[in-house]
Structure 1
């Protein structure tokens, strides 16, 4: 039997800070599962938005793994996340490390990892978390083109393996010139909840103020322009009179567009039917997922959205755009996958709301898709196998 591995994850987003969305949630569940399997897992990150009472610059225990929150200066807390404080700590632990996992593309932190691991002879796995998507590369295109030329090409090229969380991300890496044998397609994973009985689901809905015959649509993610929430609300406004029992939750951290979205909701008299609860976590998040019927993400660009996987795990019918990069939803008939435009979103909403039998079938298929493709144990099996393979190849 192979010995337990010594794994280091480097990520600029501190794990308790939920405004950074899916990458933080995914890092938490994966590190916890790897530690539960007996591996020694260490996480090196920053103190961006970290509570003042959280210890800095020391190793602390968290869910079976160790984490070090590195002190940062204000100008280190913005992209491209140059984090010199991580340098010393990472250098100190590399000689006793088998493999390093980097998360989030287009960061100077990854360039630091590249240099230090190369000197120490330690392999690293690169995961861009959707940052290399051509749509996202068109945001501040000149800066990103320069960053790619100066740093990112070497970071990607020198990785032992590039992890792609979706087929679309694999295609992106291939377009960057990465040979297929150095790309591992391993999706994000989720600890599947037990299935709710109808009575339990209705009890949660009553607790949140919804009636038995309400249909609840849930958006969960960063409230930013790239998420296409304006398209979703425009489509919802068009069908709101026809489907008066439909309600909507738009949950997540505001990245500057929520006020505009709320103005749209008020203008069309939908403020009693559209809720903006902000960041939700713990029981509040669980209850929202349990109460919902449909999960909607009408995004212009994603890697592999963690919130979608959670929605699948709770058996929610899906309303996604193609750029969510979950084509399995269409393969499994777990919902609608459409273009990021108001007309097709409206048509998809109608199809899921008019046909309750179809919606119910989509919900069952969503849960089946989560079990067969995104269950956390299967995902971590893939990561574990990958780490063992490259550690052996590099003589660790």
Structure 2
């Protein structure tokens, strides 16, 4: 079967490689020996078409350092790609983001499945400038209603989306996230740090709440450190600005980590925290649990 996956994330992109990207690669590396997989990804400076980890990659858009320009160009050119080459595939999987409405279902006769990781709901109105947030909110509310084939990551997201779908649905399945089995073999250690392992996104991930809470407990546990690891959507120095040096010297940013460094950070953490205001089904807390770590999360349905 020839499968086209529309997903803007790819390894090496300066615009981040998060849970949606990890999920796609983990799924398709298990399918690539039996199927012909093509990933249609957002172009970035230096990106070249070709095989990456045994998967065919096609990059479309513009080689801009601006995320806004890159996303806009990617949305337009990915839609053109589907219109021109969609019939070459047996099925198309469109990863849904409110910022990239491709309308791919209407551009080809090939069956298109809308894969929904998570939704922001009214949080987009609180997080972004109205110029962006209002269109994104409206797209999130109404765009899925145009489709009749779905893949969801969690029951919660499925229930929220499907409650608004009035038409007959042809295909609807939940494919949950998983973890690298190697994490189950990790020997956990009780280190001297709390670990936050996700995107450095102050509003979505509740990092302002985390720093405030860490400031309070630091008085009781002066030797305790806080390590943040993940793609820097918001600048780390912006997050810690305004706090006294006595606190910030205990907070480290490890960057975007993978492989052995990720395992080392997870295995050595005292606990893992994820105080998100909204979420999908984050792989990071599954990885923490697989590593034998206690996880403190927000009291929201998705977690």
TM over 0.5: yes
State whether residues 11 and 103 of structure 1, in contact with CA within 8 Å, keep that contact through their aligned partners in structure 2.
yes
> What is the alpha-carbon distance in structure 1 between the residues aligned to residue 209 and residue 179 of structure 2?
28
> What is the alpha-carbon distance in structure 1 between the residues aligned to residue 143 and residue 197 of structure 2?
31
> What is the alpha-carbon distance in structure 1 between the residues aligned to residue 140 and residue 212 of structure 2?
38
Match of 1:297 in 2: 274
Question: Structure 1 residues 169 and 232 mapped into 2: Cα distance closer, same or farther (>3 Å)?
Answer: same
State whether residues 303 and 324 of structure 1, in contact with CA within 8 Å, keep that contact through their aligned partners in structure 2.
no
TM-score (normalised: structure 2): 0.83
> What is the alpha-carbon distance in structure 2 between the residues aligned to residue 324 and residue 35 of structure 1?
34
Question: Structure 1 residues 63 and 253 mapped into 2: Cα distance closer, same or farther (>3 Å)?
Answer: closer
TM-score (normalised: structure 1): 0.65
Structure having the higher Rg: 1
Match of 2:55 in 1: 65
Matched length:
297
Match of 1:114 in 2: 105
Q: Tell me the SS of whatever aligns to 2:240.
A: helix
After superposition, give the CA deviation of every residue in 1:265-312 in whole Å (9 maximum; x if it has no partner). 5x1613443211222233322221222231100010111122222222
Structure 1 residue 94: deviation in Å?
2.3
> What is the alpha-carbon distance in structure 2 between the residues aligned to residue 320 and residue 145 of structure 1?
28
**Counterpart pick for 1:184 among 169, 173, 176:** 173
> What is the alpha-carbon distance in structure 1 between the residues aligned to residue 298 and residue 32 of structure 2?
35
1:1-396 aligned within 5 A: 5-17=1-13, 19-36=16-33, 38-48=34-44, 50=45, 52=46, 54-55=47-48, 58=49, 60-72=50-62, 74=64, 77-79=69-71, 82-111=74-103, 113-117=104-108, 120=109, 122-136=110-124, 138-139=126-127, 140=129, 143-146=132-135, 155-177=143-165, 183-196=172-185, 198=187, 201=188, 214-226=191-203, 227-263=205-241, 267=244, 269-323=246-300, 325-326=302-303
Q: Tell me the SS of whatever aligns to 1:83.
A: helix
> What is the alpha-carbon distance in structure 1 between the residues aligned to residue 76 and residue 36 of structure 2?
24
State whether residues 220 and 251 of structure 1, in contact with CA within 8 Å, keep that contact through their aligned partners in structure 2.
yes
State whether residues 148 and 168 of structure 2, in contact with CA within 8 Å, keep that contact through their aligned partners in structure 1.
no
Structure 2: any 5+ residue segments left out of the alignment?
none
Whichever structure has more helix as a proportion of its residues is 1
Structure 1 residue 44: deviation in Å?
0.7
Q: Give the alignment's Cα RMSD to 1 decimal.
A: 3.0
State whether residues 232 and 255 of structure 2, in contact with CA within 8 Å, keep that contact through their aligned partners in structure 1.
yes
